[in-house]
Structure 1
Amino acid sequence: MDVDSCKTTIENNFDDEMKDSEIQGVVVYANKLRHYAFIKRLDKQDEPDVFAREVSIKTEKMNPRFMISDKCSFTLKKTDRGYEAFNINIEKRSVQNIRKNKTMKINKNKENKLTSKDALFRSTILALFRETANSNKFEH
C-alpha cells in the first residue's frame, strides 16, 4: 500500500465523519451544571437536535457557556452515539439571558420601612401578648 492510497483512505474517512460544516443553529436546551446543550438546526427543521459540549465553543470574545436562544454556527461530526457539534461559534448572544447586574442591590430605605400589613401584624401580636400577660390564668 503506497502513501497516496493511505492519504486517500484517511481523507475519505475524515469526510465520512465530518457531515456538514458551518451549520447555523439555535440553542434550545442548555444544562449549565453538566456543560452541554442541544442545538436546533436552522437549515433542516425536521432533523433531531444536535448534542454539543461547552468545551467545543471556540469563541473567545463571549462567555464560553451556552444560553438558550443563542445563535451559533458549528461543524457537525458523526460519533459513536450520533451526531455532535464541534467548532462552535456563538454569533449572537440572546439579550434576554444576559444579566447586567448579577448582585442584588439592597435598598436601605426599604429595609427599615414597615408596610401597613407588618404594622397591623405587630400591633395584633403585642395586644395578644399584653392580654395574656395581664390575665390571671397563669398565676400559681
Structure 2
Amino acid sequence: GENPHQFASFYKEVLVKEVNLGDAVQLGGKELSFNNLVDLGAVLEMVKDFQEPTVVFVKHTNPCGLASALTIEDAYQKAYQGDPLSAYGSIIGINRIVDSKLADLINETPFVEAVLAPNFEDEALNIWKKLYLTQSQ
C-alpha cells in the first residue's frame, strides 16, 4: 500500500500485449515502494513512445528532464540537465540497453532511486549493484 502499515498487491493484466510494468523484473536493491512503482510505470509509458535514444527523469510522476539524442549517453546528459536539482532522488527511464559507459554516467548522478531499461549488460550491473534495477522486456 501507499502507507507502510497497509498490505499491497500488484496485478498484471494478462490481455495487455504492449510492454507494461507487469513485464518488468527487479534485478537488485531493496523493496520498491508504492511511489517507486508509480514512477517506474510513468517512465516506462514515457520512453516506450520514442524510437530514438531517449532518457527521462521522473520524481513523483513529474518529469524533471526528458531528452532524445543520437546516442543514449547524450540523451542522458541532456535529460539530467533539464533540472538537475529535481533529478535528485528520481526514477530514470531509458529506452536502450544500459552498458558500462552509461552505468558510469548514472553512477555520477547524485541519489538515483531506480533505473528502468530494456536490459542491462553484466558490466553495468557490476558497476552499481546497490541501485534498484528494473528490467522491462
Normalized against structure 1, the TM-score is what?
Answer: 0.20
* TM-score, normalised with respect to structure 2: 0.20
Which of the pair has the greater relative contact order for Cα pairs under 8 Å at 6+ separation?
2
**Larger Rg, first or second structure (1 or 2):** 1
